[in-house]
Structure 1
């Protein structure tokens, strides 16, 4: 049994199998179906995940509270995309994955998964651009400033649940 998951190979096998049964798929359609079968929202997200090396991956879990506020803050305000959501049943707490430019966070409404008040540091290429975008946003009235230091620039953004998301752009010498 092959334990390595190759999304392109899955798409090729799917396309060949369906073609043998009289169903024609384009290459793009087969890639999108393979991505969906593997739990990704689209082929681009799947392909990005497939390029991950064998290095360990760290995904912080941040505690959020029930309701739409996490979506409003992380998606509408900060620009993350929802990759997937999970609930054990109707009315149960939501656990979801959001991502933005290679950064992945898990947001959990489950008591005990995490404690409100955590801080996550995310390195990005242009924190100044992000700060301008957030200041101009009408989603949240936060007027957060940059912190300039010898090692780079930080933008600490408090979420509605007591967590801090610290976006960081290192100085050229730190990179």
Structure 2
């Protein structure tokens, strides 16, 4: 037998109060009941209980929260890939993890808001993956890459690429990075 609508509303009030307390906000149980009643479309808790919970609106559904994803690029040698990502592309090494000596390396690199994971693990990512990275000024990035001492590549900018001018770089492991100056028009 499922709980009554009022029992579910009371449970919601207890959960609300508990979650707020965990965040350092203490409220009386009566206020939690009033807030839940408002969420369910009632004027107040007394109105809600007088109807026995009839015609209650369901608790508002919260859409799942998403954060930016982090691409995992398969690399044969993290050492070789790190040299390229740090020295040529200007990424910073955030952290590196290896379960024990001799096992594959897994690292995180970042530059600005772009975060990438580079993995030597065979099950992570597919060789020759592609990552599309928006940039504010693709020509400035091109100039920066060309100014590096002995750049391994001197990429051009494709002005006809979908989405806007794009500079494509291939890392030493065959992964493709497409830096695109968005054309939102």
Of residues 69, 74, 81, the one that matches 1:58 is 69
Give the structure-1-normalised TM-score.
0.65
Structure 1 residue 152, shift from structure 2 partner: 1.4
In structure 2, the residue matched to 1:110 is 121
In structure 2, the residue matched to 1:162 is 174
User: How has the CA–CA distance of structure 1 residues 167 and 102 changed in structure 2, closer, same or farther, with 3 Å as cutoff?
Assistant: same
SS across alignment from 2:115: strand
Structure 1 residue 151, shift from structure 2 partner: 3.6
SS across alignment from 1:111: coil
Of residues 70, 80, 91, the one that matches 1:69 is 80
Distance 2:72 2:97 in 1: 14
Pairing of 1:30-109 with structure 2 (within 5 A): 54-66=65-77, 68-109=79-120
Q: Provide runs of 4+ in structure 1 moved above 6 Å.
A: none
Once the two structures are superposed, residues 57-91 of structure 1 have per-residue CA deviations (whole angstroms, 9 ceiling, x without a partner) of 21100011225211111111101111111000011
Distance 2:152 2:95 in 1: 28
Task: Give the number of equivalent residue pairs.
Answer: 125
Once the two structures are superposed, residues 81-114 of structure 1 have per-residue CA deviations (whole angstroms, 9 ceiling, x without a partner) of 1111100001111101111110110000111211
In structure 2, the residue matched to 1:42 is none
RMSD over aligned Cα atoms: 2.3
Q: Which of the pair has more CA radius of gyration?
A: 2
Structure 1 residue 56, shift from structure 2 partner: 3.1
Give the structure-2-normalised TM-score.
0.62
SS across alignment from 1:85: strand
Unaligned ranges ≥5, structure 1: 7-53
